[in-house]
Each structure stands twice: as C-alpha cells, then as structure tokens.
Amino acid sequence: AEPEGAGKALAGKRVVITAGPTREPIDPVRYISNHSSGKMGYALAAAAREAGAEVVLVSGPVVLDAPAGVERRFVTTARDMLEASGHAVDEGCDLFIATAAVADYRPDSCAGDKIKKTSDAMNVALVRNPDTLATIAARKDAPFTVGFAAETRDVEHYALDKMSRKKLDMIVANDVSVPGLGFNSEDNAVTVFWAGGRENIGPDTKARLSRRLIALIADQLTNKEA
C-alpha cells in the first residue's frame, strides 16, 4: 500500500503553523491583543494537509473550527506560543510557518484582582515578548521557516528586512492598509519573497491563495533539500 498522501507536494512532511492572535493579561478580566481572525493560518493548515502533510496548528484564541485532519493546540500568550511551538518542533518538523499576530509586548505583571477605576489616568508598563519565529529559525536543527509580514507602508523593505534579520527561508508580505484585504476579511493579496525570487499571489480567497502558497513553499523546500 502507498503511504498516505504519496505523490502530493508535502507528502511525508511534518508542518507546524502558528495562527491567530495572542492575549497578554493585564488583570483577570482584561488583556492586550492584536487584530487577527486566524483565517489565513487555518486556510494554510488546511492546504498543507491537502498537500499530504501532517499538520500541527498552534493557535491563539479564535472562533474557527480546526481543519479536518489537523491537530490543533490552543495557546493564549506569546510565551505559551513559544513553548508550544518549541515542543511541536521537538517532535519533528520539516516546515514551520508563522502566521500568528503575536503581541510584541506584555504587561510586566498581571494584577491578581480586577483593577478598579479609581483614577483619571492609568499606565501599564510593558515588556517585550519572545519571538517564536526567530527562536525556531535560530535552532541548529531549524526546519524550513516561513514568516508573514503585515505592514502598512514600505511593505517590501520591511518584509526583506524581517527575512534577513530572522534568518527565514521565505517571507509572505501583505499590505494591511488595503481596504477589504487581510485582517478579518475573506480575501487576501500577498507578495512572497525568497532568496532566489518573488511572486505576487491574489487578490483571491484565503483558501485558493493558501493552495498556491503551499505549492510555492513546497517547491522551495524541495529545492533546499536537493
């Protein structure tokens, strides 16, 4: 019998994908977070599964069902995401795709009780969160790494800068200043960059765009392994 998914672009590959926002607690009832529906990461997880991969989806809080055949692990904070992603990569990972909208900073402490409205102004001291994608990419046994860069200006410049700083194999840039695309929307348009080239994909549904993106990533992964 043929192994499951034999002949498909990601047959036999283990893929870990981060998705959704993180939440950083201020007190028991409040948090800091980012805009993110998780749809792009979930669509990519579905497309990677369709392409024959075994997929672990490390997901922040979202209201989506896990795609069929995908193992989802929920996390809350950026630190949880780092830990869960590290474990998932330890279990074996050929390809790591970070789509999560991680909170860059967290409150330096979480109040034990609900903060009461006693003054006219309030300050929350923030400290920097760990970078899951950069941490995974810096491992000696790093998988093929793909990052996302959501930018509102100088998209190409910032995307290429992120790819080199975080030592990524590919980066998917999207201009979130375009109305109707990106955050919380059904459609998206991206430009993918890698050392040897670039490709524009979309505007298209996140499902179709994800299939093309997975095909492109699978090609580059195969090239690198060859």
Q: Which stretch, 59-67, 78-86, 100-108, 200-208, contacts Ca ion (CB under 5 A)?
A: 100-108
Task: Write the interaction track for ligand CTP spanning residues 157-196; mark x where CB under 6 A is met and - where it is not.
Answer: -----x----------------------------------
Respond yes or no: is residue 34 known to be catalytic: yes
Q: How far is the CB of 71 from Ca ion (least distance, A)?
A: 26
Q: Which stretch, 24-32, 103-111, 182-190, 201-209, contacts Ca ion (CB under 5 A)?
A: 103-111
* 19-to-48, 131, 199 alpha-carbon distances in Å: 14, 14, 22
Residue partners of 21: CB distance under 8 A and separation at least 6: 33, 34, 35, 36, 38, 60, 61, 62, 100, 101, 102, 103
Task: Write the interaction track for ligand CTP spanning residues 16-55; mark x where CB under 6 A is met and - where it is not.
Answer: --x-------------------------------------
Give the separation between CA 199 and CA 190, rounded to whole angstroms. Answer: 8
Residue 55 interacts with, from ligand CTP, Ca ion, none (CB under 5-8 Å by kind)? none
Residues catalogued as catalytic:
34
